[in-house]
Amino acid sequence: MDFKQSIANALSAAAGLGADELNTWLETPPSPEMGDYAFPCFKLAKTLRKAPPVIAQEIAGALALPAGVVRAEAAGGYVNFYLDKSAQAKAVLEKVFIEGARYGGSDLGQGRNVCIDYSSVNIAKPFHIGHLPTTVIGSALYRIYNHLGFTSVGINHLGDWGTQFGKMIVAYKLWGEKETIEQGGVDELVKIYVKFHQEAETDSSLDDQARAWFKRIEDGDEEALSLFEWFKSLTLKEVEQVYDILGIRFDSYAGESFYNDKMGRVVDELREKNLLKLDQGAQIVDLSEYKMPPCIILRSDGATLYATRDIAAALYRKDTYDFAKCLYVVAYQQDLHFRQWFKVVELMGYDWAKDLIHVSFGMVSGTEGAFSTRKGNMVKLKDVLSAACEKTYDIICEKSPDLEDKETIAKQVGVGALVWNSLYNGRIKDVVFDWDAVLNFDGETGPYAQYTHARACSVLRKANYAPAEVDYSVLTDAESAAVISALGAFPDAVVEAMEKNEPYLVTRSIIGICAAFNKFYYEQRIMADDAAVRQARLALTDATRRVVAIGLGLIGVAAPERM
């Protein structure tokens, strides 16, 4: 039974508006005393020309209560709905058990593709802690969209083009050794890159040499391309190890260089549509009408820029995947850049420009300021992951010395702590990276959610639980009802996370379930003497285990069965 839809249908008859629209207006009250669902009447005040409390009274008086709803009460500008707890328990738990791993999912996006551009590491530069938000936000959205029936296309738009590769070649030829770099990988590349910038401060000829070498890459010079591809393979070998630890995958590694032969189309179309203007030797699209600086398409020397490549990539993705949405998980500092080239695509006459979405997030900086590869002050992500796993292993050895497979669980919990930390707040929040804060496992953390899952698994193991007929009427106490309500709210949280591109909404839903279950665990004796009560509470424990595992899976966190 879909109580929310039933209430929306009843409201439709009383308020004279469409049920689907009213469904989206329904809210979950902040406390159980205020009901299970609340309908805000403020949106009706203007059209009905009445005060919201008056409207609430009228609707509550005229409403025909749907099945499973025991009462509706006006409270200020709201109509609060109270469900039959037994009926709610039956509806929610049966849905969890019937749908299994698909609980919270749907066919909402069936037949539609969603391109998600995330992580997008730079070749010959370290995979650092600043890359963690885009990587885990993008990966979580990938899973969430798939869970709702969309086909996600994960794209790692590699930063594999630009003068920095000329700098790398000059640095390698002056100070690098092939064997040392083969062994040291990206760390050794960074060392000579940092040295290049130190030396270039007093020797400007190095920059001239770098530009010349990059020109040779552009022109297809055999030696230049060979070194470029070598740097690329070394980087991908290293970053793929980190992706494996994080459990993250991509469907495409087409980076900036992939679009070299596809930018002519962009320039030609803009010219044909009279959108290009000459400005101080550069070819631009004037966006002054939209209160934005011009979007530079070609520099005065004829070179393309990021905007040109991004437009070419968007055209290619639309042609290749015919996306319903194309998401760009990139820090908010690039907001103007995306607004500019999104507008250019719109001006080119493509109505799908509205489907290009910048999923922005806050920057990660160090306690001493912004990270910089040039200055060599990066905190490498693989080092943070290793530290998290080592600390977790030490805690497990101290608290659970007899636990089997401690290393695997330490990895699941340590990695989960980092991922959770990046997905617990709204993505736009800036973060100062602090080792102590990230590796603190107290409070509403990933390890807390994982431990709740492991606790539920332990209860079921000790009880030798087997599914059987459930008397849902015994699950009407406050603690059981709170768990059921939290489980029932999970599917809406998944949909809202997709609509807002905010994975933290799933994370918060998981915490809501875990907090309710742990209170239930302490307040109610699961292994009750009464067989019917015991079976019902074990069924509730099983449902909790299942939904927490689904939620953790959506955000990319493992759900260990023992901790």
pLDDT number for residue 373: 47
pLDDT number for residue 303: 76
pLDDT number for residue 238: 87
Which stretches of 178-294 are assigned E, i.e. beta strand? 276-279, 282-285
User: Where in the chain do CATH 3.30.1360.70 domains reside?
Assistant: 3-83
To 5 degrees, how large is the angle CA 335–CA 551–CA 470?
150
Contact 59, 41 (CB under 8 A): yes
User: Where in the chain do CATH 3.40.50.620 domains reside?
Assistant: 113-261+308-365
Rg (CA), the chain: 28
Give the CA count within 13 Å in the CB-facing half-sphere of 34: 14
pLDDT number for residue 367: 59
- Nearest one of 517, 500, 409, 396 to 453, comparing CA atoms: 517
Mean pLDDT in consecutive groups of 10 residues from the start of the chain, 563 residues = 90 87 90 92 90 94 92 95 96 97 97 97 84 95 98 95 90 94 90 92 92 88 93 90 94 91 94 94 95 94 86 98 98 96 98 98 69 58 89 91 94 93 88 68 85 97 96 96 95 96 97 96 96 97 98 97 93
Give residue-wise pLDDT tens across range 190-207: 899 999 999 999 998 999
pLDDT number for residue 380: 82
- The CATH code for residues 3-83 is 3.30.1360.70
Q: CA-to-CA distance for 22 and 10, rounded, in angstroms?
A: 10
Q: CA-to-CA distance for 504 and 422, rounded, in angstroms?
A: 9
pTM, whole model, 2 decimals?
0.91
Pick the CATH number of 113-261+308-365 from 3.40.47.10, 3.40.50.620, 3.40.50.300, 3.90.1300.10: 3.40.50.620
Q: CA-to-CA distance for 467 and 464, rounded, in angstroms?
A: 10
